[in-house]
Amino acid sequence: MLFLTEDDVRALLPMTDAIRLMRDVFSALASGHAQNQSRRRLVLPTGAALHSMAGAHGPYFGTKIYSTHPKHGMTFHFHLYDSATARPLALMEANWLGQIRTGAASGLATELLARDGAASVAVIGSGFQARSQLEAVRAVRKIRVARVWSRDAEKRRRFGKEMAAETCHTAEAAVHGADIVITATNAKEPVLEHEWVATGAHVNAMGSNQARRRELPAALIERAALVAVDSIEQSRYEAGDLLMALAELASPPNVVELSDVVAGRAGRRGSLEITIFKSCGIGVEDVAAGGFVYERALAEGVGRKFQSP
């Protein structure tokens, strides 16, 4: 079995390849040739929690297991297995794996749903996920202007310098007129007002994957012609943006799976529509990315071999 570090994973998984992998795996989900198991959580009285998410795609199946604590951070690992024999193939540190594939899923959604001429992007949030989100959008659209806002001025300044983005003093200034809007925060309440979002914009919301947290207001969900999710099943209990909006809106939004968009069964119908990708992150995305990393590692002689028990 092969062990791969965070540095190994980051070096072996370029964003452009990750976006292609996400297209492949959502196409496989659309045709019934991939499986996904929604996230499971074990929450302890101490505040610690264990999360697991699994899937199967092509020659591989696997599961990502990660632990979290509000005071002590997070630790991620991904286990990869051979579909034909159930033999364990690799164990990899998976913080970067998750960041890159999450960004890549938003990149795929942007490629499919954003207007062809989209050239400006606003990023709300300046943490580790925001970076891969912006990188992915730049991989699928010719972005001329990128703006960022976050609550922490120093993090905002550093993000702007590292990611070649203009820093803004308010979220409204960042979002105003943007063709693409990214929300990548830990917010419990909406981080923008629906009036700020331009007609025809595409929104990637990925910061919330809990039922009681949301980044988007219900009014923006209502304005959207289409809301794509990575998994309707998983969204039913952890997409707070949608769950809280459903409780406030008179009629439900038009929610489809990203696999339907990849298959051409749903999509943008005009340049004036607002579209949203509500990302929660699903296990089969990790399998697609992890399988690719494993194959690249074997080809390049990267990683450390060890005997599994």
Per-residue exposure over 167-204, b if at least 16 CB sit within 10 Å of its own CB, e if not = bbeebeebbbebbbbbbbbebeebbbebebbbebbbbb
The mean pLDDT of 240-258, rounded to a whole number, is 94
Where in the sequence is the domain holding 172, given as residue range(s)? 105-278
Q: How confident is the model at residue 273 (pLDDT cuts 50, 70, 90)?
A: very high
Q: How confident is the model at residue 222 (pLDDT cuts 50, 70, 90)?
A: very high
H helix or E strand, kind and range, residue 116: none
Domain shared by 133 and 163, yes or no: yes
Domain shared by 73 and 122, yes or no: no
- As for how many domains the chain has, the answer is 2
Domain shared by 229 and 135, yes or no: yes
CB atoms within 10 A of CB 228: 28
Domain at 81, CATH number = 3.30.1780.10
Residue 214 φ/ψ region, left for φ over 0, alpha for ψ in the -120 to 50 degree band, beta for the rest: beta
Please name which of 10, 208, 11 lies closest in space to residue 94, comparing C-alpha atoms: 10
- The pLDDT of residue 308 is 65
The mean pLDDT of 39-54, rounded to a whole number, is 97
Domain shared by 225 and 144, yes or no: yes
Domain shared by 11 and 154, yes or no: no
Domain at 177, CATH number = 3.40.50.720
Cα dihedral 211, 213, 216, 221, rounded to 10, equals 20
Domain shared by 6 and 154, yes or no: no
Domain shared by 166 and 246, yes or no: yes
The mean pLDDT of 265-281, rounded to a whole number, is 97
Domain shared by 121 and 269, yes or no: yes
Query: What does the DSSP 8-state code read for residue 157?
Result: H
Angle between helix 95-113 and helix 128-140 axes, rounded to 10 deg: 40
pTM of the entire structure? Answer: 0.96
What is the rounded distance in angstroms from the CA atom of residue 300 to the CA atom of residue 108? 27
Q: How confident is the model at residue 211 (pLDDT cuts 50, 70, 90)?
A: confident
- Residue 234 sits at φ, ψ, to 5 deg, of -70, -35
Domain shared by 94 and 113, yes or no: no
Angle at 131 between CA 284 and CA 235, to 5 degrees: 40
Domain shared by 59 and 179, yes or no: no
Domain shared by 132 and 222, yes or no: yes
Q: How confident is the model at residue 288 (pLDDT cuts 50, 70, 90)?
A: very high
Domain shared by 234 and 125, yes or no: yes
